[in-house]
């Protein structure tokens, strides 16, 4: 065999053997590169999947570091006594550390997903169960894990709906708080007017009663009767009064007139104060909460009846002035 032919045979042998040797070496290198990149960027989902993919391409699974087993032991022990969110989070922190060291280990993803489900972290649990299936595509419990994912889908939907409802309620409360802060000066002035109106109305009502009593006690006659030099005056009722009685009658009449003005003014102050107490500024914010059916209204016209009263006020969903009050109907 010539040297030239020997060289040709050697090159052919290398070409035949190359496919058998190079892929193994290249696979290990690819895995190590992927692992180094993941540990540099542990929050990168693509980097995590690359580690799992390259690990599955190796002749045998990579060996799990001893430190990961230690972390698993700690996590499982803490899980036995975990009772609240903080306890579950401490367990999850250990699993996070373990997965940063062995991101190809399917069992770590499964165990972490179980803890996340107990901690009501349904989205995270779904993601880790899916990673478990990626890292272990031929798992014996694949169908059970898929059923669990379906359950977690429903639980997450319910959780999202509750979270959205709570957020909406919080936003409405914050808007209402802003409205209340804007309206507070007007409502304070309204409360003062309301109180002043009640006081003035009471004074006017007492005055009306006093004036009526004073007019009623004035002595009148159907005819002048005995003169004896005393002047008599005829009232608008047609009765004749002596000078003293007539002055008493006129005084009572004046008191009633003034009291009527006070009573009318007091009612106006009450109405104005009630409107100001119920003031809700326009702009961003929701109206006050709808009033319940058994609540009373300050000013309410319903079924042909006018309701009036005093108390805490607000606007219901229909924009009516409402509140819990002492009530009178006409």
Q: Which of 59-73, 101-115, 158-172, 195-209 shows the lowest per-residue confidence on average (mean pLDDT)?
A: 195-209
Distance between CA atoms of 136 and 109, rounded to whole angstroms? Answer: 10
- Higher local confidence (pLDDT), 100 or 274: 100
Question: Please, which pLDDT band fits residue 283 given cuts at 50, 70 and 90?
Answer: low
Q: Is 220's pLDDT higher than 70?
A: no
DSSP 221-276: ESS----TT--EEE-TTS-EEEHHHHHHHHHHHHHHHHHHHHHHHHHHHHHHHHHH
Give ranges for CATH 1.25.40.10 in the chain: 24-139
**What pLDDT does 176 receive?**
83
Stretch 248-255: mean pLDDT: 78
pLDDT value for 135 = 94
What distance in Å separates the CA atoms of residue 101 and residue 68, rounded to the nearest whole number? 7
8-state DSSP, 104: T
Confidence band for 123, pLDDT divided at 50, 70 and 90: very high
pLDDT of residue 233: 61
Confidence of residue 218 (pLDDT cuts 50, 70, 90): low
Segment 142-191, tens digit of pLDDT: 999 999 999 999 999 999 999 999 999 999 999 888 888 887 888 888 88
Q: What's domain 24-139's superfamily in CATH?
A: Tetratricopeptide repeat domain (1.25.40.10)
* Cα–Cα nearest to 102, from 30, 24, 34, 28: 34
Cβ neighbors of 54 (< 8 A, separation 6 or more) are: 27, 30, 31, 34
CA–CA distance, 48 with 29 (Å, rounded to integer): 16
Q: What is the pLDDT of residue 285?
A: 45
Q: Where are the alpha helices (DSSP H) in the chain?
A: 3-40, 45-56, 66-81, 85-101, 106-118, 122-135, 142-217, 243-277
């Amino acid at each position: 065999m010539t040297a030239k032919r020997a060289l040709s045979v050697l090159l052919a042998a290398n070409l035949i053997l190359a496919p058998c040797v190079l892929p193994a070496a290249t696979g290990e290198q690819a895995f190590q590169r992927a692992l180094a990149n993941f540990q540099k960027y542990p929050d990168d989902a693509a980097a995590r999947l690359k580690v799992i993919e390259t690990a599955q391409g190796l002749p045998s699974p990579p060996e799990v570091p001893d430190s990961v087993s230690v972390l698993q032991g700690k996590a499982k022990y803490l899980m036995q006594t975990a009772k609240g969110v903080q306890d579950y989070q401490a367990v999850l922190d250990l699993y996070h550390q373990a997965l940063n060291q062995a991101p190809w280990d399917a069992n770590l993803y499964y165990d972490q997903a179980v803890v996340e489900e107990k901690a009501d972290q349904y989205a995270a649990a779904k993601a880790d169960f899916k990673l478990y299936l990626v890292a272990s595509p031929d798992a014996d419990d694949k169908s059970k894990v898929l059923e669990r994912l379906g359950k977690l889908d429903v639980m997450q939907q319910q959780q999202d709906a509750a979270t959205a409802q709570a957020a909406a309620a919080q936003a409405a409360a914050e808007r209402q708080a802003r409205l209340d802060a804007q309206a507070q000066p007007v409502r304070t002035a309204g409360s003062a007017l309301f109180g002043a109106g009640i006081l003035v109305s009471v004074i006017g009502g007492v005055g009306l009663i006093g004036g009526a009593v004073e007019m009623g006690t004035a002595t009148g006659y159907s005819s002048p009767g005995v003169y004896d030099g005393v002047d008599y005056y005829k009232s608008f009722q047609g009765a004749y009064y002596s000078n003293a009685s007539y002055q008493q009658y006129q005084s009572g009449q004046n008191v009633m007139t003034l009291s009527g003005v006070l009573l009318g003014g007091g009612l106006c102050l009450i109405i104005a104060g009630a409107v100001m107490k119920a003031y809700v500024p326009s702009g961003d914010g929701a109206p006050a909460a709808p009033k319940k059916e058994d609540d009373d209204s300050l000013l309410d016209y319903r079924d042909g009846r006018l309701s009036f009263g005093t108390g805490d006020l607000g606007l219901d969903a229909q924009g009516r002035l409402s509140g819990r009050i002492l009530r009178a109907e006409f």
